[in-house]
Structure 1
């Protein structure tokens, strides 16, 4: 004998007016347990959020890769910088050694070109004395040393002399120029006349000063290099030949120029 159907367990769900597109559904059991249809707008929001999450993940991955590559490039650049720095340091040290060697070689060549204690320049040797004599004795001392009181024939020679005087000695020196034979007629010790185009008198010199009370009747007849304003080329003064000063002697060098 077949079982009887119990119709009291069948529940009819009436179509809601908000769900016009959904057909009536029937559910067995309690109507409160019937599933609800998901709204389309919720699905769209989920889709957008998922897309944004994917995009954000991709961006983070890309940034991470870029950061790794940048860090690697910086490390490579730092290594190159360190290598260049080491090479530069080595090159600088090599230059210093070469400069020192060149200086020693130049000094050796110049020393061999001139007698001891004489300075070489442009094919000539110059002695800057340490003792002081009057002009006449200075002239004779230079001759005894194998030269003569300096004769200045060019701007280059004048620049060389004042550079040595200003940097090493800061003293006054006799040069081989005098008008002792005839006032105003300045002659070098080899009896050549002073070239009007190569003369380095300071302002208002020569003035042939006779002293405060005229005690020097012959005036100032010998030329000297002044120790002041050494940066200026025009530093010749006339002076009393009896004054005692250092001297600059000159002779030709054995070095070929």
Structure 2
């Protein structure tokens, strides 16, 4: 049997590359040689059949192994070439995402400062109202609990000469604040700013707005003997409570009273906030 000349590999060290694998040219030449050997063995009729079969099997196995080595080497080289590019793309993506986040935070910061500056712009420049002597402050108003005895109309006029009006009580907190500052007595009562003197049973505040609900004692107002003005009662009975202390009475009764003077700047600020 004539065997084709094997490829000239030269020095064995030349078959090894830097990675410890055959270089591509050598691998291809070796594969071609083995394939030619297989074809030759298959075409020869001489020689023992066992020898010929063994040679063919060995050559075929070498071809298969060599192809696997070439495929693995190519795959590794491809991955090595692709990895830096993939990492670079990931880094570029991370940088872009970070820059986008920074830009969003800067924009939100600008909007926040714009709101802060706008809020400062609407703040009142005038100082808050300072309550005069004997007046007490609650919310945006000052209150005077006067122990002078006057009928409802004269009490109303007195409060107006002081720059205020008879007290307008709109919340349970305000009602409780004032009631807590009234002294207890047998029947201590104080005028405040409601009346139905214009139309019976249509109670209004001194500024003309209607009274909604209110803090009437049970059974009040009852309009007993032409009772057209409202007052607050605080007695020595401890079971009485602030939110059930309004009564109606004739407006010509002479009683102490409660004045209110509003802080216009604070009231305007509250109104803007709402």
User: TM-score, length-normalised on structure 1?
Assistant: 0.49
User: TM-score, length-normalised on structure 2?
Assistant: 0.46
More helix by share: 2
